Amino acid sequence: MISARGGHGDFSGFLAGQYQDPSRPLELAAADGCDEIRTRVRQEIRAGADWIKFAATGGFASPSDDPGRATYSQEEMDALVATAADLGVPATPHSYGDEGIQRAVRAGVRSIEHGNLASAETLRMMEDADVFLVPTQYAILSGARRTPEDPLWAAAPDYVRRKVDKYRAGLLDAADRLAASEVRIAFGTDAGMFPHHENWREFGMMVSTGITPLRALQAATSTAADLLQLPDVGVIAEGKLADLIAMPGDPFTDIEVTGRVDFVMKAGVVYERPGTAV
């Protein structure tokens, strides 16, 4: 993730010991100013990136920034997105607050990652621009819903708890606004926040905020395929890849059943069926 120095993706200095495995050093993807940003984008694409992610605002898990404040100027975001587009690669920002989201939309991003503090005005702007939103609600809202007695909450760093306390009401209100909006929601989990085999929990969080089960399921299938521009997956139709799952219940009446998948077919090959792993 490309980040301004001091922003959400800057793991230098004292943060290096917290985030880096000494045996696998994490390269600092920091860039400031349009020229350095263009260079960094080209380097990432040369290394094989098929998407460019950048930090448009601060975050909750980084101590020196604010989730509500933009960390790149409009000119810097314009340069980043245009450079990626020139090379045929879409860009998407980590962004929570309005200013960071709006600058990114004006720059021409394809999607917004998180967006959990978006106002009604910002959501309408995304609707008008046909920009997708990947709200990663389980990763974000589970913290906002925790009580002081929760051991996971007590174990969180002080700066995380301070930020969540500051924005708690805004996070919950924004989730209600998203459910009432027509923004195209795609499924995502903010990799690393919880085990991949628990990705189904995102469905439950979506539905708990007022997103319909159908919209939540589409977020992980047809809408996600549209966002990623993968025409062969995401729907059940002739000529598409046969990527299918089944579960012992109806997710339209019990979304939690998505956590009990007992049949898996990938590209027409069965890998699991009830009672048997193939």
Q: Name residue 269's beta-bridge partners.
A: 266
The pTM is what? 0.91
Tell me: do 31 and 83 sit in the same domain. Answer: yes
Tell me: do 228 and 249 sit in the same domain. Answer: no
Q: What is the mean pLDDT of residues 193-201?
A: 84
Please indicate, yes or no, if residue 5 is contained in any of the structural domains: no
* Number of domains composing the chain: 2
Q: Measure the N-to-C terminal CA separation of the chain; round to a whole number of Å.
A: 37
Residue entry with tokens 């395929």:
225
At residue 116, the pLDDT reads 98
Angle (CA) 225 142 198, round 5°: 50
Please indicate, yes or no, if residue 77 is contained in any of the structural domains: yes
Q: How confident is the model at residue 15 (pLDDT cuts 50, 70, 90)?
A: very low
Tell me: do 67 and 172 sit in the same domain. Answer: yes
Please indicate, yes or no, if residue 4 is contained in any of the structural domains: no
Please indicate, yes or no, if residue 94 is contained in any of the structural domains: yes
The sheet with strand 244-246 has its strands ordered as 244-246, 263-266, 269-273, 276-277
Please indicate, yes or no, if residue 2 is contained in any of the structural domains: no
pLDDT tens, position by position, 100-149: 999 999 999 999 999 999 999 999 999 999 999 999 999 999 889 988 88
Tell me: do 215 and 166 sit in the same domain. Answer: yes
- pLDDT score of 242 more than 70: yes
pLDDT tens, position by position, 84-112: 999 999 999 999 999 999 999 999 999 99
Please indicate, yes or no, if residue 3 is contained in any of the structural domains: no
Tell me: do 127 and 261 sit in the same domain. Answer: no
Tell me: do 141 and 252 sit in the same domain. Answer: no
Tell me, rounded to whole angstroms, the distance of Cα 255 from its chain centroid. Answer: 21
Please indicate, yes or no, if residue 7 is contained in any of the structural domains: no
At residue 42, the pLDDT reads 97
Tell me: do 152 and 270 sit in the same domain. Answer: no
- 245/112 Cα distance (integer angstroms): 28
What is the per-residue DSSP string for the chain?
-BB-TTSTT---TTHHHHH-BTTBPPPP-B--SHHHHHHHHHHHHHTT-SSEEEESB--SS-TTS-TTSBSS-HHHHHHHHHHHHHTT--EEEEE-SHHHHHHHHHHT-SEEEE-TT--HHHHHHHHHHT-EEE--HHHHHHHHT--TT-HHHHHS-HHHHHHHHHHHHHHHHHHHHHHHS---B-----TTSS-GGGTTHHHHHHHHTT--HHHHHHHHTHHHHHHHT-TTSSS--TTS---EEE-SS-TTT-GGGGG---EEEETTEEEEETTEE-
Tell me: do 135 and 265 sit in the same domain. Answer: no
Tell me: do 259 and 142 sit in the same domain. Answer: no
Q: What is the mean pLDDT of residues 10-15?
A: 58
Q: What is the mean pLDDT of residues 157-186?
A: 96
Q: How confident is the model at residue 275 (pLDDT cuts 50, 70, 90)?
A: low
The contacts of residue 86 (CB under 8 Å, 6+ apart) are: none
The tokens for 74 are 């409009």
Backbone angles phi, psi at 128, to 5 degrees: -65, -35
At residue 167, the pLDDT reads 96
Containing structural domain, residue 40 = 12-232
Tell me: do 37 and 149 sit in the same domain. Answer: yes
Please indicate, yes or no, if residue 34 is contained in any of the structural domains: yes
Tell me: do 215 and 272 sit in the same domain. Answer: no
- pLDDT score of 14 more than 50: no
Tell me: do 215 and 255 sit in the same domain. Answer: no
